[in-house]
Structure formats: C-alpha cells, structure tokens
Amino acid sequence: MRYLMPLSLLALSCAASVNAEQSASKQWFNTINYAKIDSRYYSDDVYGLSTHYYFEEQQSSGVWDDYGYLDTDSNIGLNYFNSDGYSQKGIFGEGFYGNAFATLELPNIGDTDTYSLGIGYLFADSLKVSARMVDYEYGDTVYLFKAQYNHQINDTDYIGFTVETD
C-alpha cells in the first residue's frame, strides 16, 4: 500500500505532461507493454517493446496520426515480445510511391522463414486497398485482401472502417 500512492502520483504527473503536448508533430513512437497473468494453472509475465518511425511528421496527441485513420506515409516498425521464456523479434515496413504502396513483414526474425509481402493503392486519401501474401514456414501460403475507409467528419474527428478477408 505504501508504494501505491507514489506510483499513483507518478502516473498522474506523466499523464499531465502528455496532455500538455497535445497536437505535437512527431515521427517516432515507442511503446512498452506489460501484463501479469495469474490463473489457477498458469502464471506468466508478458512484455513487449515496439518502435515505429514515420518518414513524414505525424500530427499526434498521444497515438499515431490520430487525426486520420489511414497510414499514408512511408514507415518502419520494430517489435520485441517475450512470454514465458519465448521471445520474438519482428520488423515491418510500408513504402509509398505516389498513391501506390508496398509492405514487407518479418514477424519473427531469425527463428522462422515466415514472411509477408503486400501491394496496395490509396484512393483520394480516404480509401486504402491492398493484397498481401503471408508465407508460413510450417503451413500454407495465405492471401489476404483488405480495404480501409476513412470518413472525415471535421479537422479532428473521423470514423474508420476496415474489412479484411482471405
């Protein structure tokens, strides 16, 4: 209990400093996740680290480009995940050339030969369609088709829709 109060004050001070920087332009976003799982049969500490870099500035008040639903700028992401002694390192990239784009993902660098390649097109900055091939090392190759639509209500509000199928 004696640790709860200082931790609560620290969390409040961090939240206050984040709110003071609303609408900042950023290119680099970092995330740390932690979960403690306790059940009758299982206990585990799960954590993950990720970093995401955009080659153009993103308008942000705390999340990636939160004034638009679609990623429309070239970007690269790295992540690390650990659960119960199992760890995984991955990389993702999306490159735009005009309105056309291509994606590459290696979800577990070094351990498997699983990878994903994709191509797509951005229509009028509000509709993004893509086709992606996922080649699993120990399974079938899967083809995924995805459409994302951004309905902009005003400068800061929008509704986003995503449909994906194989």
What are the residue ranges spanned by the domains of the chain? Answer: 21-165
Q: State yes or no: pLDDT of 116 exceeds 90.
A: yes
| DSSP state for residue 137 in the 8-state scheme | T
The pLDDT > 70 percentage for the chain reads: 80
Could you tell me how far CA 41 lies from the centroid of its own chain?
A: 31
* pLDDT computed for residue 43 by the predictor: 86
* pLDDT computed for residue 166 by the predictor: 92
Q: State yes or no: pLDDT of 20 exceeds 50.
A: no
Instruction: Find, among 130, 64, 69, the residue nearest to 96 by Cα.
Output: 130
CATH, domain range 21-165? 2.40.160
* pLDDT computed for residue 67 by the predictor: 67
Mean pLDDT of the chain: 83
- Mean per-residue pLDDT, 115-132: 96
- Mean per-residue pLDDT, 35-61: 88
- Mean per-residue pLDDT, 133-145: 93
Q: State yes or no: pLDDT of 13 exceeds 50.
A: no
